[in-house]
Amino acid sequence: MDIASLAFLTTTTKFLIFLFKISTALDTIAPSQSLSDGKTLVSRDGTFELGFFSPYDSQKRYLGIWYGNMPGRTVVWVANRSNPINGSSGLLTINGTGNPVLLSENMTVVWSVSNLTKEAQEPILQLLDSGNFVLRNKNDGDSGIYLWQSFDYPCDTLLPGMKLGWDSKTGLNRHLSSWKSSNDPSIGDFMWEVQLNTNPELVMWKGTQKYYRSGPWNGIGFSGGIALKPNPIFGYNFVSTEEEVYYIYNLKNKSLFTRIVMNQTTYNRQRYTWNDVNQSWILYDSVPRDRCDSYGLCGAYGNCVTSELPVCQCLKGFKPRSLERWNLMDWSQGCMRNKPLDCETGDGFVKFSRLKLPDTTHSWVSKTMNLRECRTKCLQNCSCMAYSNLDIIERGTGCAIWFGDLMDIRQLPADGGQDLYIRMNASETEGKAKPKMKIAVITFASIAMVSGILIISFAIYKRKTKSTEQTANNTQNNQNNDYHNEDFELPLFELSTIVNSTNNFSINNKIGEGGFGPVYLGTLIDGQEIAVKRLSRSSGQGLNEFKNEVKFIAKLQHRNLVKLLGCCIQGEEKMLVYEYMCNKSLDSFIFDQTRSKLLDWAKRFNIICGIARGLLYLHQDSRLRIIHRDLKASNILLDNEMNPKISDFGLAKTFGGEQTEGNTNRVVGTFGYMAPEYATDGIFSDKSDVFSFGIIMLEIISGKKSRGYHQLDHSHNLIGYAWRLWKEGKSLELIDPVLGESYHLLEVMRCYHISLLCAQHHAEDRPSMALVLLMLGSETPLPEPKEPGFFKDKGRVDEGSSSSKIESSTTNEMSISLLEAR
């Protein structure tokens, strides 16, 4: 027999053995069957295999899925990744209720499936050619209807056809998480998921810190990615609907293999393709790609440019916020505008091209607006910092706008990135620049015109001078007496008294920083401590709010409202003088890991009840019926006995007669606390405050912030997280761990229940504060809460937009305003 014949016989024999292996291997398990250690399931085409394995030098056993016809063992999914079996006696079967279970030697359940989509009838487990391990009813055949599937619970690998993202109906978050190490498949600290914002994007987390983000989807790709050229291997898409938000990719050539893996060792998301010639995996691409992909490297308004040294550059029209740190290559403080914005007189926009769009956490989108309408919407809102097209296909459609500082921007190559229009002082925009010749012509013409007018107007000026001076004097006198004509019903402090009490506004006396200026601790001659809120001279806003707060709070007297002692109005100085709260604000306790331990459940419950009593007084029992409109943890002050006092009435509104709600074109408040109907349509009522109260209750119970809260395995905000835990029967997971076991469980659960009732989406479903107090003080059965206000995008502004017209006791608050034409 010649060599060629021998080679043909050998190849034929291997092929027949391979076919025999496929034809005899099982791909299913029925209720009467089981899979023991040493046996495997093989998909019909032989691509994937399921069985027991030990990673590298580990002696522990895991049930997993790997490629079946490749050398070595490339594991793509592990069932019991956090609960290994010691010894080789594992058993996979289907129990009497139709649920898959994995048992150890002593018949202890190591892993199981319980959350089936529907009732199991003649269930079977099957390993599909896609690598998906499914539980289905036998009669469903290949319909694609599954009771459960491993594709919904990925580990560190994303296979073609798998969805990375959210099922909004069930709250399921399909995300990747790395192995802890090469011989330990338990969950590491490196994770990749879809972050749910109004403009969702892919985000990698290293522990609790953002590590990398893709930028939002623009119809073609992610704005932070380098444009992928057409390739013969795979295609990809991003789907965002009311029911699902996910990323998916599929193979173009079914004979090829590719996978995406989260690598704990290198902290990369890596895409591999299989090379048949070399019989090995080839790295196709990975992210982060370079240093500029590191999240927030250059701080706010910093642009990361890989071709520059240093890589961090301030955007044109910006300068380092701290030049000293910037020169030391500490870019964390970012950049600031060369010229401050001037929303009152008019700002403009500067176009920046080929950028990775900023972090979308604080953004809003409309799928129906064009770019011109988007610009108008942003210009009307003093807190809108930038806008861009949502979709860049053809000429571009949709609108995306950003609030607050713009984070995580980078410059991309010529074929990547997107146009971003950033708000600037009008003098910095191109539309205001004038050629020198044009300026010269205008100047000459102006001089000629003025020369002629001066001759004619001189006599008129002489005649009217005396009358004008008299008018000016009368106007000045009226302005100086404006505040004294107000019926403030409060004592007026002399400026010298305030200056002496605060050590001339010493930095050592500063105890807070709000939207309109700083707050200082002062001590009067008699030893009384006071808190002085000083309106910033450069604020350019807040005068009406100042007068508003004085008039409102002067007429309010309640143990759960902060007491205003007086005000100081002298020259350009305008200050409010409060009683000093030695324990400062509620947020300084519940969000601090150390100080939160000082608030046991009894104190927290007392705070909840105190806030409720204060709100009831405002809504029902005061001389004026008042809607606060900016209720939040930082506006709840605590006295020396930890009793709560509602403060900051600068944005409050009154109702008269039988009026129950109002409407405004200027929506004000704080991100994360605003009721949906107020954020979207400007409709406010006492139920708006009730919604904010519900959010504060959740913060007190959980010790977590509503705004910017992120839970790796759950929703993107606190109210969504709390709702899902409630629906899944996992309410205890919300309770602040620092409480230990010192709380009254029924009381905590009742408060949890009431908070969800307060935060329901529709205002008419929420209880009044009178009913809230009744529910807090009794044990009567409570109604089932309806879905809370998640601020889902409906093509309008409803994603937590709020106002910059606020006074805050902390500097890390973000507030925005909506100025809508109606």
Instruction: Check if the beta carbon of residue 275 is closer than 8 Å to that of residue 284.
Output: no
Instruction: Check if the beta carbon of residue 668 is closer than 8 Å to that of residue 620.
Output: no
- Between CA 71 and CA 4 the distance in angstroms is 26
Burial string for 645-672 (b: 16+ CB within 10 Å, else e) reads bbbbbbbbbbbeeeeeebebeebbbbbb
How would residue 666 be classed by pLDDT, with cut points 50, 70 and 90?
Answer: low
Q: What is the largest CA-CA distance in the chain?
A: 128
How would residue 443 be classed by pLDDT, with cut points 50, 70 and 90?
Answer: low
Report the 10 Å Cβ neighbour count for 725. Answer: 20
- Between CA 584 and CA 343 the distance in angstroms is 32
Residues of the chain with CATH 3.50.4.10: 293-432
Nearest 5°: CA angle at 213, between 208 and 214?
Answer: 155
- What mean pLDDT is reported for the chain? 82
The dihedral through the CA atoms of 252, 255, 260, 265 has a sign that is negative
Q: What CATH number was assigned to the domain covering residues 293-432?
A: 3.50.4.10
List, for residues 46-87, the tens digit of each pLDDT value: 999 999 999 988 889 999 999 998 988 999 999 999 999 998
Q: What CATH number was assigned to the domain covering residues 587-819?
A: 1.10.510.10
Rounded to an integer, what is the distance from CA 739 to the centroid of its chain?
A: 26
List, for residues 325-354, the tens digit of each pLDDT value: 998 899 999 999 999 998 877 899 999 999
Per cent of the chain over pLDDT 70 is 80
The answer to whether residue 800 scores a pLDDT higher than 50 is no
Rounded to an integer, what is the distance from CA 535 to the centroid of its chain?
A: 30
- Between CA 84 and CA 106 the distance in angstroms is 14
Beta bridge partners of 350: 422
Residues of the chain with CATH 1.10.510.10: 587-819
> Tokens representing 220?
């073609």
The answer to whether residue 807 scores a pLDDT higher than 80 is no
Average pLDDT rounded to a whole number, residues 472-484: 43
How would residue 35 be classed by pLDDT, with cut points 50, 70 and 90?
Answer: very high
Total residue count of the chain as it appears in this document:
822
- Between CA 634 and CA 642 the distance in angstroms is 14
Residue 299, sorted as left (phi over 0), alpha (psi -120 to 50) or beta, turns out to be: left
Which residues, at least 6 apart from 506, have a Cβ–Cβ distance to it below 8 Å? 520
Q: What is the pLDDT of residue 463?
A: 54
Residues of the chain with CATH 3.30.200.20: 495-579
Q: DSSP character for 151?
A: G
Instruction: Check if the beta carbon of residue 349 is closer than 8 Å to that of residue 424.
Output: yes
> Tokens representing 42?
């093989």
Assigned architecture for domain 495-579: 2-Layer Sandwich (3.30)
Alpha helices in 273-385 (DSSP H): 323-327, 371-380
Active-site residues, by number, are 630
- Between CA 66 and CA 50 the distance in angstroms is 7
686-702 helix and 745-758 helix, angle to the nearest 10 degrees: 140
| Class of CATH domain 23-188+213-263 | mainly beta
Average pLDDT rounded to a whole number, residues 589-603: 92
- Between CA 559 and CA 613 the distance in angstroms is 9
